Structure 1
Amino acid sequence: MRMFFFAGLLGSAVIASPSMAQTAYVSNERSSTVSVIDIASGEVIDTFDVGQRPRGILLSKDGKYLYICASLDNAVEVRDRKTGALIATLPSGNDPEQFFLSNDGKLLFVANEDNAASTAIDLESQRVAWQVEVGEEPEGIAQSPDGKWLLVTSEEDNLISWIDLATREVVHETETDVRPRHIEFTPDGKEAWVAAEVGQKVHVIDMASKEIVSTIEFAPPGALPYKVLPCGIRFTSDGKTAVVALGRANNIALIDAANREVSGYVEVGSRPWHLAITQDDRQAIVANGGSDDISIVDLAAMKVVKTIPGGNGPWGVVLVPSE
C-alpha cells in the first residue's frame, strides 16, 4: 500500500540553502519501504512499498531511478525515483546487501552475502555480466575512482578482496580486523577507508601499497565500549572530513581525514547504520535503525538539528542533488 505525507505550512519564510533543497530517500529494512524526505521542511513527504528487507539504496547517474537491494527477494529493484513505481527487477545472486554503481553508470556491482561472490549486473541488458568468487560473507563493495579496482569486504574471513577489473580476477587480499562491513574511497582515490564493525575500528588502506597504513578507534562519551560498531562512512566533497556511523553506540564520529583523528562526536538516534552528506557539505542525514528515525546533523555545529520519524529500521540513505 502506498502512503503520502504532506508537510504543514511553515510559520515563517525560510531561504533554502543547497542542502535544504535536497531530497533524501531512506530504505527501511523492517517495514520494506522507502521514506522520501524533504530536507528543507524536515518532513517525510512520501513512503512507498518495495521488496523484502531493503538495505542498499543508490541513485542512477541520470537521477531518474533508484536501485534498491531487496535482500530477502534475492533481487535488485529498479524504481522510478519520483513515483516509486517498479520498473524492473534485476538478478543479483543471493542476499544482496550493499552494491556500487560503476563509475560509468553501466554496471551495478553487488556483494552477495550468502554465496561468497561479487556480481556485476549489466544495466542495459538487465542481465548478470560476470561474477567473481571472493571471501565468505561479502558485504561492502566499492569501485576505485580511477576505475581499476573493485574492493569487496569479507565479514567471515576478515579481509578485503582486490578484483582487477581488467582481468576480473582477485589479485590481492588485505587482512582486516573483525567483520569489515563498509568501504569508502577518499575523493582523491588515494585511500580506501574500511569499517571493521566487530573490531570496532576503521582501517585506512593505501591504494598504492594495498596495505593498512592507519587504524582509527572510537570512544564516544557515555557509550559502552562494546556498543561501538562502526559501519557507514562518508566524506565531505573536499575530502577533509570523514563521518562514521557508530552503530549501537548511538553516535556518529567526525574525523579529520588528514591526521586521521576524531574531532568530535554527535549523539543521534539508536543504531545509526548509514548516512549521506548534503551537496554543500553542511549536513549529514543519518539513518537510525534502532529508533526508527532519521537525524539531520549540522556538521559545523556538531549537533542534531532535526529528528524525523521514519519507517521500521532505517538502513541506507541516498540524496538527490538540488536541481
Structure 2
Amino acid sequence: MNQNPFTTIQTVKTALTFALLLGLSGITLAGQAPGPLSAPDVPVTHRDRIYAAEQFSNTVSVTDPADNKLLGVIRLGDPTPGNLSPLYRGQLLVHGLGFSPDRRTLAVVSIGSNSVSFIDTATNAVRHVTYVGRSPHEAFYTPDGKEVWVTVRGENYISVIDAATFAEKTRITVAAGPGMQIFSPDGKYGYICSSFNPEVAVVTVADHKVVARVKQESPFCPNIAATPDGKQVWFTLKDIGKTQVFEARPPFRLLKTLETGAITNHVNFAHTAAGTFAYVTIGGLNQVKVFRTDDFSQVAAIPVGALPHGLWPSGDGTRIYVGLENADSLAAIDTATNQVVANVPVGQAPQAVVYVPNAVAEGAGTQGLQPIGMAAQTTQLKLVPVANGKPAAGAAAPTSVTLFDQGLLQVLQASVTGLQPRQPYVLALASRTDGTGPLEPLATFNTNPAGAAIVNAIGPIRQVVQGIAGTEARRYLVIAPSGDGKPAAPVQVQAM
C-alpha cells in the first residue's frame, strides 16, 4: 500500500520534535534495567549518581561514579539512642530506593518510620515525606512516572502514591507481606513478590488488577527485577538461597530455579555486547554470582566483600555497583572482566542501591550533603568453626560480624552461615578464646532452611568485649546451639 508522502514527513517531524524535547528536558533512558532494551545506553559521567540507603546511620550516601568518589550523605535521621526519643522526628531504618523516569526525584523508604522521602536529585533536598502503612520495604515509579508503588510489607497491600501530589491515591490488595515490586519495561505489568507468602502477584498497571499469581518456592522474597527485553522476571529467595525466573508475559510460566546460596539478596541486570547477564548478591558467600539470561548458565562468582546486598547497573552496563552491608562500602564491578575495580566508603549497613544516570543536569549537585562522620566508624570481626573443641585451623570464616558505632552504643550485625537448618542458637560472649566456660547471651535466633541468619544486637558491645578501662576481662564472640533456654558448647568462635 502506498503511503502519503505528507503523512510520512509529518511523522518524521513529530519523531524529531519528540526526541528534541526529550533531550531538552534532560530525560535520559538506557538499555539497562529498569528501562527498555531499545533505549540508548548512557555513558558514565560526573552527572551520574549512585545512591545507597543505609539503615543504621539513617543516611543516603551520594557517590560520583566517574571517579568513584563519595560526595557526602543526605542525613534523614539520627543514630541510636537519639532515634529512641518520643520527640524524634527523623526517619528510622532507611532501607529502600527508587527513582523517577526523568531522574529528578529519588524515593527513599524508611522501614521504622513508615515513610517515603522524596528527594530532589539536583539539590539533595527532601521535597516531601509521605507516610504509609506499617513497615514499608521498597518503592518504585511506574515507567510513565505518574505513580509510585510502595510495598507495605507489614500489611497486605501496595500503597499507590500520586507522583505529582505525593498523596496516596489507592491501594492494591495482595497477599500479606509484599516484599518488592518492579515493572515491565513497557509499563503494562507490575510484579510484586512476597516476604510472608509463597506467591508473586502480577498486576496490570492501568487498572491495578491482579491478573496472575506465580508460585514462589519459599515465602521470603526480598527482591525482584525484570529484564530490559521484557521477557523475564527474576526474584530472590533469601531464606532458602535460591533465585527463580518466570516469563514476564502471559502465561507467566516458571522458567528456572537456580541454587544460588545462603542469604541470596538482590538481583539486577547488565546488557553488554556479550548479552544480558543477571547479577545476584549472595550474602552468605560474600559473592556476586553472574548468570546468562538466555541459558541460565553461571559465568562468574565474584568475591566482593562482607554481606553484599543491593546492586544496580550503570547507564551503559559497563559497571555494576554493589552495597556491602557489613563492610560499609560500595564495590564497583567491571562487567567486561567481572572483577571489582573500586571500593567506595559509604554509610552504615547499605541496603538498596540505585544508579541514576544524569541525575544532576547542571551544577555541582553537592548542595545539602554532609560529611559521613561517625557513620564511617565500624569494626569487623569473623567467627570460625570449632573442631575437636578448638578453632578449626585454616577454616574459612562462615560468619562475619560488624559493630556499627552509634556514639555511646554500637549496633552489632552478624551474617551467620554454616549452621544446622531451622535450629535455635545463641550469639554470646565468652571469657575464653575457645568459647569454654560461662556464656553471656547477646541474642537468640533460629536459622533459616539454608542454615543461615542475620542477627542483630545493640548496646555498649565494644566496651564489654574489650574490657572497660582494663578492670574487666576481655570477652569473645561465640555462637552456640540453644536448648531449653541454655547454650551448649560453642560451634563457632571469634577468629583471633
TM class, shorter-chain normalised? Answer: 0.7 to 0.9
Matched residue, 1:30: 56
Question: 1:296 and 2:332 equivalent?
Answer: yes
Matched residue, 1:211: 253
Match of 1:157 among 197, 208, 226: 197
Q: Which has the larger radius of gyration?
A: 2
Match of 2:75 among 49, 68, 80: 49
The answer as to whether partners of 1:111 and 1:141 remain within 8 angstroms in 2 is yes
> What is the deviation of 1:229?
2.1
**Secondary structure class of the residue paired with 2:284:** helix
Distance 1:74 1:190 in 2: 33
Distance 1:90 1:187 in 2: 30
Question: Taking structure 1 as reference, are residues 166 and 296 closer, same or farther at Cα in structure 2, changes over 3 Å only?
Answer: closer
Which stretches in structure 1 are left out of the alignment for 5+ residues?
1-16, 219-224
Q: Deviations over 1:242-280 (max 9, x none)?
A: 111112321101111111111011111211111111122
Question: 1:231 and 2:265 equivalent?
Answer: yes
Distance 2:206 2:69 in 1: 45
- Aligned AA (2:316): D
**Secondary structure class of the residue paired with 2:264:** coil
- Aligned AA (2:269): F
Distance 1:134 1:306 in 2: 40
Query: What TM-score does the superposition give when structure 2 sets the normalisation length?
Result: 0.58
Distance 2:316 2:188 in 1: 29
- Aligned AA (2:53): S
> What is the deviation of 1:83?
3.0
Matched residue, 2:223: 182
**Secondary structure class of the residue paired with 1:97:** strand
The answer as to whether partners of 1:240 and 1:256 remain within 8 angstroms in 2 is yes
> What is the deviation of 1:132?
1.6
Q: Deviations over 1:218-239 (max 9, x none)?
A: 3xxxxxx5xx222211112456
Q: Deviations over 1:184-240 (max 9, x none)?
A: 11112121111112121111111222221111223xxxxxx5xx2222111124561
- Aligned AA (1:258): D
Match of 1:192 among 230, 233, 239: 233
Q: Deviations over 1:269-299 (max 9, x none)?
A: 2111111111221111100111111111112
Question: Taking structure 1 as reference, are residues 303 and 20 closer, same or farther at Cα in structure 2, changes over 3 Å only?
Answer: farther
Match of 2:104 among 58, 64, 72: 64
The answer as to whether partners of 1:283 and 1:299 remain within 8 angstroms in 2 is yes
Distance 1:42 1:189 in 2: 31
**Secondary structure class of the residue paired with 1:120:** strand
Match of 2:209 among 150, 153, 169: 169
**Secondary structure class of the residue paired with 2:222:** strand
Alignment of 1:70-109 (within 5 A): 70-109=110-149
Matched residue, 2:173: 133
Percentage of matched positions with identical amino acids: 24
Give the number of aligned pairs: 299
- Aligned AA (1:87): R
CA RMSD for the aligned pairs? 1.8
Report which stretch shifted further, 110-119 or 202-211: 202-211
> What is the deviation of 1:104?
0.4
Matched residue, 2:349: 313
- Aligned AA (1:34): V
Which stretches in structure 2 are left out of the alignment for 5+ residues?
1-41, 77-90, 362-496
Report which stretch shifted further, 163-172 or 267-276: 163-172
**Secondary structure class of the residue paired with 1:248:** coil
Query: What TM-score does the superposition give when structure 1 sets the normalisation length?
Result: 0.87
**Secondary structure class of the residue paired with 2:149:** strand
